[in-house]
Amino acid sequence: MKYFAEIENGTIQCLLCEHKCILKENAIGKCRVNSNVDGKLVCLVHSKPIAVHVDPIEKKPLFHFEKGSKTYSLGTYGCNFKCQWCQNYQISQSDISGLERIPTITPDDVVNNALSSNCTSISYTYNEPTIFYPYARDIGFLAKEKGLKNIFVSNGFQTEEVIEDMKLWVDACNIDLKCFNVKNCKMFTGSDINVVLRNLKLLAKSDIHLEITTLVIPDFNDSKKELKQIADFIANSLGTDVPWHVSAFHPDYKMTDKTRTSKETIFKAMEIGEKQGLKYVYPGNIW
Ligand code: SF4
C-alpha cells in the first residue's frame, strides 16, 4: 500500500488518517511521527515501540474474540487526536526527541516475542495505531503467516484506503466511539466524529470482528440524550450483536476538573444500551 500522494515540488499528502496532512520536505504531521523525507512518507517510529506488554485480551477490551487468550501488545509515541482526558498522554502526546535511545524491535522480533510468550495475537494499542500503520502492517503480515491474529485498538479516524487495506490482515478491532456531538468532538479531541461513524459502518460490513468502547465522562457525553444517540447508532447502523463497553472515566491529563464517573452513571448507560436493543453491554473500570 502507498501511504501518501505526491503533490508537487517534493510536497506530499499523508493518506494514513483523515487529517490528510500536507507535508513539505522534512515537515512532520499532526501526529508528530510521520514525516516527509526526500519526498516520501517515513514513519519515524517504525520498529521503535515505547510500550510492550503481554495482556489478557479482555483488557483491550475484546470479550467476544479469542476469549481467555493472551495478546502481545505494543504502542509507540504520538497520536492524531488530542483528547483532553487521555490516559496514555505520556506516550501519545509526548515529543519524539529521545527516539534514538529506544531499542529497535523489528517486525520479526515482535512476532517471535509473541510466539515465545504464548500469545495467540498481536494488539496494536496504547496509542493510535493508524499513525504507525506501516510498522503495524509489516508485523501483521508476518504474524498472519505464523498463525497469529491481529488486533487494532483505535480511534477510528483512518482514511477509507487504510480501512480497505486493514481487511487484508486485521482480524479484530475495538474502536472508541467517544461521543456523538460534532462540536464537542472537535473541541476536545481535534477530530470529526462523522469520520469515525463512517469507518464504523465500513468495519461492521467487513469480516473484521468489531467491539466498541465509550469512555463515559461527566458533563461531556453522559447525558441520557447522547448515550441514547450512541446506543441507537450502534444498534441500528452496526448491529445489535456488536458489543458496547461503557467505561468509567478518571481525571487525567488536561481534564482534572471533573470527578470520576459513578457506578450509577455506568449502570444508566448500560440500561440505555439494552433498551436500544444491544445484546452485549459491558461495564468497564468500575470494580
Ligand atoms: S497519520 Fe499523522 S501525518 Fe498522517 S495524516 Fe494523520 S496526523 Fe497527518
* Local confidence pLDDT in tens for the 287 residues of the chain: 889 999 999 999 999 999 999 999 999 999 999 999 999 999 999 999 999 999 999 999 999 999 999 999 999 999 999 888 888 888 888 878 888 899 999 999 999 999 999 999 999 999 999 999 999 999 999 999 999 999 999 999 999 999 999 999 999 999 999 999 999 999 888 899 999 999 999 999 999 999 999 999 999 999 999 999 999 999 999 999 999 999 999 988 888 888 999 999 999 999 999 999 999 999 999 86
Grid cell locating 251: 481525571
pTM given for the model: 0.96
For β-strands 172-176 and 149-154, DSSP reports them as parallel
Nearest atom (ligand 1) to Cα of 23: 3
Distance of CA 208 to the CA centre of its chain: 14
How many angstroms separate the CA atoms of 40 and 209, rounded? 33
- Domain borders along the chain are 45-284
Any residues with Cβ below 6 Å from ligand 1, and which?
Answer: 14, 16-17, 19-21, 29-31, 34, 80, 131
Grid cell locating 86: 487521555
User: What DSSP string runs through 6-18?
Assistant: E-STT-EEE-SBT
CB 64 within 8 A of CB 245: no
- The best mutation among 3, 7, 11, 14 to test binding of ligand 1, ranked by most ligand atoms within 8 Å of the C-beta, falls on 14
Q: State in words which class domain 45-284 has.
A: alpha beta
- The best mutation among 1, 7, 17 to test binding of ligand 1, ranked by most ligand atoms within 8 Å of the C-beta, falls on 17
